[in-house]
Chains A and B, each alone.
Chain A
Amino acid sequence: MSILDKLRSILTTITEIAGGDRAADRVVPPTGFTATLTTFTAGSMAFLAVFALALSLATGRLAERWASELAQTSTVRISAPLEEIEAQTLAAQEVLRTTPGVARSRIMSEEEQMLLLEPWFGPDLPLEDLPIPRLIEVVEEENGYDAAGLRLRLAGEAPGAFLDDHTRWRRPLVDAAKRLRGLGWIAIALIGLSTAAMITLAARAALAANAQVIRVTRLVGARDVYIARAFVRRFTIRALLGAAVGTIAGSIAVALLPSAADEGAFLTGLGFQGWHWLWPLTIPPLAALVAFWATRSAALRTLNEVT
């Protein structure tokens, strides 16, 4: 059978599942606990999938924000006696201007430094009365600069200048956030596989419980696909309904999480923002697709063992 034929066969099956066949449905009796098990499993897994999705998207946003905020920047701090600070600042600026890999540098204004200190000291800080170091913001080129070389040059030209290479220590945080996002997707994949495994077990139990139905229908000329379809339709619809309920419940739970605040976004920013709220809508059809494949393969494998 060519790939095109297989696709056509699958499309036909999906159409028939959506359309239904009352007579065919009647052939297989209701399967009791496996029905409840499938619906419950799909619902629970969808609930968990919503949270895994929310975690993944939130950590993705966090990683992007940190990455963009810290993109290739560092700071030179000049701590020198008051009468030398201006000269050392200019010297450090000159060193930076001639350092390969430094795209630009800029002396931060007093207002900007005030804003940086405000969270700790409050507003109206008398900056002129405090021995506040001068700060120079440095923006790197794509390939960065030689930090060790720059430190040596600054030590020679402006002994009070210290390079604070914060991208170097904050980059692992961005990596951690990215890995957390990856783990979220892995969790979603595992949830999908677990759902498939549970539905496979339930389908096999249902098939075993209906051995007489399978035997009789084969005796009167039923093809494997016909028998499988009766089970596939049931399990797919149950998984779809269970996952829909689980997704709604999960989305409500995520919506009820405390809203994100700038100060504590890391802990409270778990959730969906904007169009990301559409993502959970993909969970029920995906659960139905997983149930479709799991039941179909389990059914065809089981039927292949029957003469």
Chain B
Amino acid sequence: MIELENVAYSYGGGDLLTDISLRLQAGSFHFLTGPSGAGKSTFLKLCYMELAASKGLVQVFDQDVAALGRDQIALARRRIGVVHQECQFLDHLSVAENIALPLTVSGRDVEAERQNLEDLIGWVGLTKQQDQLPPELSGGERQRAALARAVIMGPDVILADEPTGNVDWEMSQRLMSLLIELNKMGKSVLVATHDLNLIRNTKAQVAARVLRIKDKRLQLAGADL
């Protein structure tokens, strides 16, 4: 799915990440942890090609990202669902239109997929809020809408950057249940979080590997988790 080999990322003359190697396989569940500023978001951006690696090889769906054109990157992104911490919606569109945005920009007929859209909105529990504008949603509702938008295209990989950062414990459990459910449907899931309790709780429900960024390098977390 996504493979990084000896990848480094530099910015402003200094290395943010170095010697990163990882293979995300189909149906896998990974957590990525580390303190704030460790480079978790940078790592995810490398995975969905928002940033280009300074060194090393990044392969997405068996394609070398460095060799991909802008259109090919756009097409590859349709197979990756991304949930940002800050969600990033278009505030002039309704919640339903925002969730359907990946369908719209890929030229698919949203009306023909209306039933799937309704089901998905119901699955994340936003049926009542679907005609509202994003600024009218609470933090948890925004995260669920972002998750729905990330999965509407049926992606192979889901990357979530602190998806539970702005929500209470109950809501974070609900969001994680949705991600576990997607993983059981065969999707690869990578969740970046610094919430160790959330990781421990989720590991009880799914076979997840925990990775940690420490000193700019990626490590497999030990028994402390």
Complex Cα distance, B105 from A304, in Å, reads 18
Q: Are the C-beta atoms of A26 and B70 separated by less than 8 Å? A: no
B92 at the interface (CB under 8 A from A): yes
Which of B52, B78, B90, B97 makes the CB contact (< 8 A) with A213?
B90
Q: Which residues of B contact A224 (CB under 8 A)?
A: 70-71, 74
A-B contacts counted at CB < 8 A amount to 65
Min Cβ gap A306→B in Å is: 9
Tally A residues with Cβ within 8 Å of B.
Answer: 21
Q: Which residues of B contact A212 (CB under 8 A)?
A: 88, 90
Q: Are the C-beta atoms of B89 and A24 separated by less than 8 Å? A: no
A215 at the interface (CB under 8 A from B): yes
Chain B window 96-111, contacts with chain A (Cβ cutoff 8 Å), 1 for yes, 0 for no? 0100011011110010
Q: Which residues of A contact B149 (CB under 8 A)?
A: 220
Q: Which residues of A contact B70 (CB under 8 A)?
A: 223-224, 304
A2 at the interface (CB under 8 A from B): no
Nearest chain-A residue to B48 (Cβ)?
A219
B196 at the interface (CB under 8 A from A): no
Decide if the interface of chain A is mainly helix, strand, loop or mixed.
helix
Q: Are the C-beta atoms of B88 and A215 separated by less than 8 Å? A: yes
A264 at the interface (CB under 8 A from B): no
Q: Are the C-beta atoms of A221 and B106 separated by less than 8 Å? A: yes
A216 at the interface (CB under 8 A from B): yes
Nearest chain-B residue to A218 (Cβ)?
B74
Complex Cα distance, B106 from A218, in Å, reads 11
Once A304-B70, A307-B51 are accepted as A-B contacts, the answer to whether A222 and B92 lie under 8 Å apart by CB is no
Q: Are the C-beta atoms of A226 and B105 separated by less than 8 Å? A: yes
Min Cβ gap A104→B in Å is: 72
A217 at the interface (CB under 8 A from B): yes
Min Cβ gap A213→B in Å is: 6
Min Cβ gap B134→A in Å is: 11
Min Cβ gap B85→A in Å is: 13
8 A Cβ contacts from B50-83 to A: 50-52, 70-71, 74-75, 77-78, 82
Q: Are the C-beta atoms of B51 and A24 separated by less than 8 Å? A: no
Once A23-B110, A307-B51 are accepted as A-B contacts, the answer to whether A221 and B77 lie under 8 Å apart by CB is yes
Q: Are the C-beta atoms of B88 and A221 separated by less than 8 Å? A: no
Once A226-B105, A304-B70 are accepted as A-B contacts, the answer to whether A221 and B90 lie under 8 Å apart by CB is no
B137 at the interface (CB under 8 A from A): no
Chain A residues with a Cβ under 8 A of chain B? 23-24, 26-27, 29, 212-213, 215-226, 304, 307
